[in-house]
Amino acid sequence: MAVSVSRRIAALQSAASAERWDEFADAMRAWAEEEPDNPWVQAGLVVAEAAQGNAQADAAERVRLLDARLADQIALLVDLRAGRRSEACGTITRELAFGNREPALMDAYRWVEPGLAEPVKYFFSTPHLVAGCVLSDGQITSMAAKGSRMSADSLGHHSSQMWSDILKLAKRIDIGIPHSAQVVGKDGAWVLTAASDEPSRLVTALVAVGAQAEEAAARAQAISMEPEAAHD
């Protein structure tokens, strides 16, 4: 089982307070191996390397990216307080694409996007969506495909294959409970999301332009977090 975030943070705090920097660095590296795309963890690696006197060449850029995300979150609070829905929507979309699942963020998303009252329809209305489907217990419950390079049948086949590969990997390596996977390529993004409760709901999407991947990811997250989504 994966180590909880609270336990990881407690271990890091203990190591830092005692100035056991090698221990701090080892803990950060172990976390980064499990979550290589987590920007907060990557920032922690920068701190760990600096504490050991091994600051990496790209440290400044990694810290800049972290600062940018913090600034983004602060801007979101300001926009929500001022009632600026359209401005807030872009920031919320990016946070959801990062994998932020805070209930408060979803509440804010429902406020800026009233279409979430019908989650599945909202997902399929993504402007650059090429194809998408919602599954419950491995069975497709909703699907849409536009006349493009990938048909609805292909979408279902490839999404099933990807999830199968993840489950095979989980049997060989302790990656914790498979929760979500995202692959971004030149043709856009696949997004598979499984809620932690039962029945699980998987959402897959292929968007036509890579730049729109985070929007599809955000909408997929929104569906997976809606209990009634798989039954619409």
Q: Which domains does the chain have, with CATH numbers?
A: 5-56 (no CATH), 118-231 (3.30.450.30)
For 119, the token pair is 């989650």
Predicted confidence (pLDDT) per residue in 77-102, tens digit = 999 999 999 889 888 888 877 767 77
Give the DSSP H or E segment for 183: strand 180-185
Q: Is the pLDDT of residue 115 over 80?
A: yes
The vertex-227 CA angle with 223 and 232, nearest 5°, equals: 70
Task: Tell me how far the alpha carbon of residue 30 is from its chain's centroid.
Answer: 20
Q: Is the pLDDT of residue 221 over 70?
A: yes
Tell me the β-bridge partners of 148: none
Q: Categorize the per-residue pLDDT at 214 as very low, low, confident or very high, splitting at 50, 70 and 90.
A: confident
Q: Is the pLDDT of residue 173 over 80?
A: no
Give percent of the chain with pLDDT exceeding 90.
4
Answer whether 168's CB lies under 8 Å from 149's CB. no
Give the DSSP H or E segment for 155: helix 152-172
Task: Tell me how far the alpha carbon of residue 152 is from its chain's centroid.
Answer: 24
pLDDT of residue 133: 82
pLDDT of residue 82: 92
For 47, the token pair is 């701190």
Q: What is the pTM of this model?
A: 0.60
The vertex-200 CA angle with 197 and 201, nearest 5°, equals: 125
Residue that is written with structure tokens 């807030």 in the block = 88
The whole-angstrom separation of Cα 10 and Cα 75 is 29
Peptide bond before residue 199 is cis, with ω within 30 degrees of 0: yes
